[in-house]
Chains A and B, each alone.
Chain A
Amino acid sequence: MSDLPSSAVRPPSQDPLAEDVDELEAHLDSQRMYINMGPSHPATHGTVRMRIELDGENIAKADPEIGFLHRGFQKSCENVTWTQCLPYTDRLNYVSAINNNLGFLNAVEKLIGITVPERAQYIRVIASELHRICDHLTMIGATGMELGGFAPFLLGIEGRELLWDRVSELTGARLTTSYGRIGGLNRDLPEGWTDKVLRSLDKVKTICAEVVSLLSRNRIFVDRMRGTGVISTEDALDFGFTGPCLRACGVDYDLRKAKPYWVYDQLDFDIPIGRNGDNYDRYLMRVEEIIQSDRIIRQAIAKLPDGPIIVDDWQVALPPKPEVYGTIEGVIAHFKLVMEGVQVPAGEIYDATESPNGELGWYLVSDGGGRPYKVHLRAPGFPLLAALPRMIEGKMLSDLIPTFDTINMIGGEVEQ
């Protein structure tokens, strides 16, 4: 308070204009202001702190500070068996846990050198795309809310809850799914589940259309989104952007097309590409990807083959329970897999899948034992957050919120 100009404590009876004419020409740019945004702020999803240096209403410098959600994920994985890493991966991008689960499993399976059964591949695609829609709905809804409209958020969450109900029917949990096992899946689709999914997708489609009608041509929304948070294609590539944020810059790169895994190459879908690399394009990418994911799920359900959901190899997959309880062969395999873990051949691998926010990469090293020697995660949100100062410095403070929203940084995976 003592730093206030002396005029502020002047007795009100005196007329300031009469004495000090200079006050009318107040020098507003005389001092920079430092403000904190976060770690607990309504517009930071997850716990991240932004140290912002303001020059008037412009951001002179922005310094994102992470670490509030650090859990030692990579190191923790070294202490448990490969299968036991799975619950840790739930906590990476917790809005779309299945993408993390299955991405990790895909990398481990490549390191072992096994192919999962076709039915499991289809179900993996369905589950991943469901969670992709959830992730994008969350991002769109939250952006709408933080720019002043509460209805899009409620609608988005309604759609997400609908899909999370389907996810919980499939996996037993809404968020911490721990779905899939090395070599396939731990459980098959529940009875009548595909019909429910199709009905839910119909509903989500109408919800999504309503959200889009509320936002896409909304003057306030468009003014704050279009032309803000711009990043050039070169910068985006240099920073290591992937996913919708890179495609918003006009780069056609999606791992589902560029390096197809599972059965993505047998399904017909498009990759939306933006042009401007601004917040509005990043928003539109998500809107269009929801529609494409919807297409993928409908095709996958239509083509879903019968068959086993996990490989029939007791070196990798747990034996069926009757074998475990009734035969010595089954109980030995079960014991060894649970106590010592799946024996992954010594070697290293980098493998990536397309998660809602971009390339979710796993660098795994095995020393031939049942536990990872090293697990490194390339979180798609990390380069995005790293580029935030570049995107926002010199711009208005009000641009920060939409930019932070559309890069959709998730603390769980960035800070690990």
Chain B
Amino acid sequence: MSETKDPKMPAEKAPPGASNPVADKPPAAHSQPPPPPAPPGRPPPKNPGKVTVTIDGTEIAVEPGTNMIEAAAKVGSAIPYFCYHPRLSVAANCRQCMVQVSNAPKLVPACQTPLAEGQVIETGSQKARDQQRANMEFLLLNHPVDCAICDQAGECRLQDYYMTHDNLPSRLEHGKVQKNKRKILGPTIVLDQERCILCTRCVRFMDEVAKEPQLGVFGRGSHEVLDIFPGQELTSNYSGNIVDICPVGALLSRDTRFKARSWFLSASPSTCTGCSRGCSIWADSYGQVTHRFRPRENEAINASWMCDKGRASYRDLSVDRLFVPLVGRGNQQREVSREEARQAAAEALKAHLGKGLAVLVSPTVSNEDLMAALHLAREQLSVKEIFVGGRAEGEADHYLLTADRNPNRKGLEWIAKGLGLTLRPFSELQAALKKGSVQALWAVGHEVPTDAATFAQSLEGLAQVVVQSTHSTPLTAVSTVALPAASHLEDEGSFTQLDGITQRHRKAYPAQELAMPHWQWVTELARGLGSESLWRSARDVFQAVKGEVPELADFGWDTQAPRNKERRGINPISTSADGRPPGYREFGAPRVRGI
């Protein structure tokens, strides 16, 4: 845009009669009568440096270049649109955003039309509404009668705009055009060409954001379809985003298809823990089951996107979880109560105070968990060095995914430095184990950067292995005490991603059975070791320890937190029937769900 604009500007402002070598000037002998006076120049802008327009009767001054849809949203006028996306180029092909403006005889698409000084825009005039209604009718003309079996139902723009902008019966007299109903595009995406309204958001996303152009629109007229390039498979690590931006149910995730109805899901603001990027996400859950992760808008980190690897990480939350404490080793392992587990763990640690006790923490747990654990290590265990576990490095990709697959390495570094503890790499722990200088191990988090089974074998000779783990792993199999930990969705907390941005996450649902957050187990252990600390929440931990960590001292644990539960799912039974809020239902035994 800027290349075309700049040379024009001086030409318009040039005084009449100025020499222009390029212009074909007639000779003086053939001089014409003087040209008519130029039309009056544009009036000066009402607000210098801004564009002042009137939208639905409200005058507003916006930055030049602001999109009309965004400007209208500022005055509370919602212009309907399908193909427009603030982070993609403008295509103006859905024709749903047509509005009436004072400087054009016909309706104009709001997504594409630049705002002009003094322009008067009517988003809801009769003419505009007629057009919007007619457009909806065309979009629905060949749309299959699929709402009952469509995963998009409940969050579908076609449904929303039908109710607000159309609301009339069908006038179709013959059959609908039939296209490919289920085309597998790749490992994660399935396409229903009949539902597609050809807005090309997905095509533009693959071109402009994922930079892996693989989708296109083929054919003409009624035979026009969205499809993948012939012979290709949609294997992009960002393919999941096209499901999010698809305004209808044409592109669906094969992972979550037919698993949950969108109106039952509660959306909790959280953070993706798949890598050190720490994308902001919505965790959509029903009861104590998470069904999907969706990117949450965050300009500083992930814009509106997230990668498929992170998207798939929700599945770990319900596979091989450890929910009950275990005491004993190998065949002797038995399930015990929280209290029994706490005593066993405290005794195990007490027996090895200052005698070959190693502390292993994983940078996959939250700042609060780390604060509590490192505080205990320093105060009660008198440990100076902390071994760092966590997931092994992976491969980074060209956009969001980083090589470090641990979401909180930065936080661990800050907290260890603040508490005066030294971090030691995992290889040193392995060496120490080999040397035999370690007699007991306390692990917060089960992830290790090597093969877990091999590492677990090397622990078999230790007198005590206390593991706080969310999952049943080889590590918990060889532990003397295994404490079930809550995942990050099951409690509040914060993570610090690789650029040093700390993000709060909210609790989606409480932990199941006897699992507790890491910080809570640590608090229990600390009390078993004679401490009198009374941390009752992750917030308490943060407030108590943050003074020692300068980087986190200014973080507003409450003020910088996202709003809790932006959307609560509709619940089959009424909200207050059992005194629990909508997101906190159906805990315990599963039961038949229905309306």
Interface residues of A (CB under 8 A from B): 75-76, 78-80, 313-315, 319, 323, 325-333, 335-336, 339-340, 343
Contact = CB atoms under 8 A, between A and B. Distances in A.
Given A328-B145, A332-B159, A332-B162, 16 more contacts: A313-B167, A314-B167, A314-B168, A319-B169, A323-B170, A325-B145, A327-B170, A328-B140, A329-B162, A329-B166, A329-B168, A330-B170, A331-B147, A332-B147, A333-B163, A335-B148
Q: Is the interface of A mostly helix, strand, loop or mixed?
A: helix
Contacts of B140: 328-329, 332
B575 interface: yes
A328 B574 contact: no
Contact of B169 (A79, A325, A329, A335): A329
Contacts of B570: 339
B143 interface: yes
Contacts of A333: 162-163, 167
Nearest to A338: B595
A329 B162 CA distance: 7
Nearest to A335: B147
Contacts of B158: 332
Contacts of A325: 145
B153 interface: yes
B135 to A, nearest CB: 14
Interface string B571-586: 0001111000000000
Contacts of A340: 263
Contacts of B330: none
A329 B170 CA distance: 6
22 contacts: A75-B576, A79-B574, A79-B577, A314-B167, A315-B163, A328-B144, A328-B145, A328-B170, A331-B145, A331-B148, A332-B140, A332-B147, A332-B158, A333-B163, A333-B167, A335-B147, A335-B148, A336-B162, A339-B154, A339-B570, A340-B263, A343-B163
A262 B25 CA distance: 82
B78 interface: no
B169 A323 contact: yes
Contacts of B163: 315, 332-333, 336, 343
B153 A327 contact: no
Q: Is the interface of B mostly helix, strand, loop or mixed?
A: loop
B145 A315 contact: no
A327 B574 contact: no
B312 interface: no
B159 A335 contact: yes
Nearest to A341: B570
Interface of B: 140, 143-148, 153-154, 158-159, 162-163, 166-170, 172, 263, 570, 574-577
A76 B575 CA distance: 8
Contacts, number: 63
Nearest to A77: B574
A304 B377 CA distance: 85
Contacts of A326: 145
B165 to A, nearest CB: 11
A260 B284 CA distance: 50
Contacts of B144: 328
Contacts of A314: 167-169
A314 B576 CA distance: 30
A78 B145 CA distance: 32
A80 B571 CA distance: 10
B260 to A, nearest CB: 14
Contacts of B146: 328
A393 to B, nearest CB: 39
Contact of A328 (B143, B263, B576): B143
Which 4 pairs from chain A and chain B are nearest by CB? A79-B574, A327-B170, A79-B575, A332-B162
Contacts of B576: 75, 79
A183 to B, nearest CB: 13
A325 B263 CA distance: 21
A198 to B, nearest CB: 38
A374 B92 CA distance: 42
Contacts of A319: 169
A83 to B, nearest CB: 13
A340 B156 CA distance: 13
A327 B159 CA distance: 13
A338 to B, nearest CB: 9
Contact of A336 (B143, B148, B159, B577): B159
A136 to B, nearest CB: 34
* Among A75, A80, A328, A333, residue most surrounded by chain B Cβ atoms (within 10 Å): A328
Nearest to A78: B575
A178 B230 CA distance: 57
B307 to A, nearest CB: 32
A234 B166 CA distance: 55
A310 to B, nearest CB: 15
A339 B159 CA distance: 12
Contacts of A332: 140, 147, 158-159, 162-163
B574 A76 contact: yes
Contact of B167 (A76, A315, A327, A335): A315
Contacts of B145: 325-328, 331
Nearest to A312: B169
